[in-house]
């Protein structure tokens, strides 16, 4: 049994005093932080939580303690592209060219090393669970490795080394576009057909820190007739099913031209919406799409969406549970992802106050969409994930005690994360990873894929 004591912690409270409210932000409401919180941890779980307690010999977590953050949408290898893709102003095509070059160069050993560094960066940012949307399955030319899941298993091992949980969202990717076969490096993504994808995915091995889920890369990458195979596979196992949805207008136009349906209609028709499903981006939706998505989680990846000039999605109009992802890792900072959901709405509407700080933080700590519904809360029985945000950095020094959560959500950065406990183990102490020199590991592994390409 380990006892931690937090001078301040967010236990999920919405407003103080007066309790919670759903939906729209009530005028004048602040998000509530508790004081003197004693958290008892037994093994990898929280055993007890008490408020208004004295420290009494417990290990002090300084600053503001939050539940572990969840990065619901990641492509680990995209981290190697950070910054580079803006050269000469940057276009979608410079980004895609670099992304394919990085994908072409990786093998299970180099991918494991790169992902270990990237998941280490996530740990430093307070992320204790990642949904890895994994489509780089095979060797050059599409030749399977001896273990056809060698790449997926490398990612699972990398997460273990970084000390975070992973949901490997094994992704079906079969086509370059509507009616177009995979070409070039895309051959490494494809299993040929959805039945072969399902056979390979069925052989993936989970672990205590790793669960397996499924993904449809997009409606362009999986032919309509094969969508149900992936959706059924996930439903039969009761695991998450993710898909990129309507990220760019061109995807909607191509889908309408090829099928007469919007991507959301097409996915719905083939059983890929609803419980345990999560749509990533959901940027360009019709009103009917928004209604159709009610009950399906939506993952907003605001920093990638702005990086790739995708547009602003209808986050507030959705009735969906929201989660967040750093996707291409233009930055890895869930505070930035969270506040961007509100700030983008402000720019669009010319009005403030769409989401409360607690709602945004709930999205940033939502592990349910990646298949860990028990995580993301500081309460007995939950995995012992605790993130201490320093309140003495230049960004947060002077934060008012009544609006600490607002200060954290709207002004903190990943660099303010001081200590991280994941599944009961301390993985970040005083701003440093306890087992990986993350900057050195990123230095060694990020350049390699691009230099070799
Ligand atoms: Zn993505």
Task: Name the pairing type of β-strands 432-433 and 59-67.
Answer: unpaired
Residues surrounding ion ligand 1 at CB below 5 Å? 327
pLDDT 10s digits, 85-113: 888 787 777 788 888 989 999 999 999 99
Has residue 450 got a pLDDT over 90? no
Mean pLDDT on 246-264: 97
pLDDT at res. 29: 53
Arithmetic mean of pLDDT over the chain: 94
Cα of 213 to ligand 1 centre, how many Å? Answer: 15
What is the separation, in whole angstroms, between the first and last Cα of the chain? 49
Mean pLDDT on 119-130: 98
For residues 132 and 76, the answer to whether their CB atoms sit within 8 Å is yes
Q: Catalytic annotation on 281?
A: yes
Is residue 356 helix, strand or coil?
coil
The pLDDT confidence band at residue 321, using thresholds 50, 70 and 90, is: very high
SS (H, E, C) 392-430: CCCCCCCCCHHHHHHHHHHHCCHHHEEEEEECCEEEEEC
The Cα–Cα gap between 216 and 93 comes to 23
Has residue 22 got a pLDDT over 70? no
The pLDDT confidence band at residue 451, using thresholds 50, 70 and 90, is: low
pLDDT 10s digits, 51-89: 999 999 999 999 999 999 999 999 999 999 998 888 878
Write down the catalytic residue from 170, 268, 327, 344: 327
Q: Catalytic annotation on 327?
A: yes
pLDDT at res. 24: 41
Cα of 95 to ligand 1 centre, how many Å? Answer: 13
Measured CA distances, 301 to 49, 87, 173, 308, 320 (Å): 32, 22, 21, 11, 15
Q: Which pTM was predicted?
A: 0.95
Write down the catalytic residue from 134, 138, 209, 281: 281
């Amino acid at each position: 049994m380990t006892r931690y004591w937090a001078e301040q912690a967010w236990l999920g409270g919405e407003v103080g005093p007066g309790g919670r409210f759903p939906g729209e932000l009530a005028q004048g409401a602040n998000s509530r932080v508790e004081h003197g919180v004693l958290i008892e941890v037994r093994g990898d779980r929280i055993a007890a939580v008490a408020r208004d307690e004295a420290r009494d010999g417990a290990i002090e977590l300084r600053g503001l303690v939050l539940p572990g953050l969840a990065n619901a949408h990641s492509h680990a290898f995209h981290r190697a592209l950070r910054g580079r893709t803006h050269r000469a102003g940057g276009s979608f095509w410079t980004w895609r060219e670099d992304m394919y070059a990085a994908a072409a160069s990786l093998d299970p050993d180099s991918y494991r090393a790169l992902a270990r560094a990237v998941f280490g960066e996530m740990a430093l940012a307070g992320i204790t669970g990642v949904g890895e949307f994994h489509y780089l399955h095979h060797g050059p030319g599409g030749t399977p490795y001896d273990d056809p899941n060698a790449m997926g298993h490398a990612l699972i091992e990398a997460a273990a080394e970084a000390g975070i949980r992973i949901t490997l969202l094994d992704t079906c990717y079969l086509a370059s576009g509507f009616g177009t076969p995979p070409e070039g490096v895309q051959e490494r993504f494809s299993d040929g057909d959805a039945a072969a994808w399902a056979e390979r995915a069925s052989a993936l091995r989970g672990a205590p820190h790793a669960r397996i889920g499924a993904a449809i890369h997009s409606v362009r990458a999986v032919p309509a007739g094969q969508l149900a195979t992936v959706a059924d596979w996930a439903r039969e196992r009761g695991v998450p099913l993710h898909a990129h949805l309507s990220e760019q207008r061109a995807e909607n136009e191509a889908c309408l031209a090829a099928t007469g349906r919007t991507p959301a209609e097409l996915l719905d028709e083939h059983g890929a919406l609803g419980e345990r499903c999560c749509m990533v981006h959901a940027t360009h939706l019709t009103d009917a799409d928004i209604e159709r998505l009610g009950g399906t989680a939506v993952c907003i990846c605001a920093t990638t969406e702005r990086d790739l000039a995708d547009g602003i999605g209808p986050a507030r109009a959705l009735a969906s549970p929201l989660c967040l992802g750093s996707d291409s890792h233009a930055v890895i900072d869930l505070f930035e992802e969270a506040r961007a959901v509100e700030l983008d709405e402000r720019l669009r509407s010319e009005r403030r106050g769409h989401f409360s700080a607690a709602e945004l933080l709930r999205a940033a700590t939502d592990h349910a969409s990646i298949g860990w519904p028990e995580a993301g809360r500081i309460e007995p029985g939950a995995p012992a994930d605790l993130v201490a945000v320093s309140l003495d950095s230049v960004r947060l020094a002077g934060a008012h005690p009544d609006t600490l959560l607002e200060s954290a959500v709207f002004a903190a950065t990943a660099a303010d994360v001081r200590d991280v406990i994941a599944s009961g183990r301390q993985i970040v102490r005083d701003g440093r990873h306890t087992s990986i020199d993350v900057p050195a590991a990123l230095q060694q592994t990020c350049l390699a894929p691009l230099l070799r390409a």
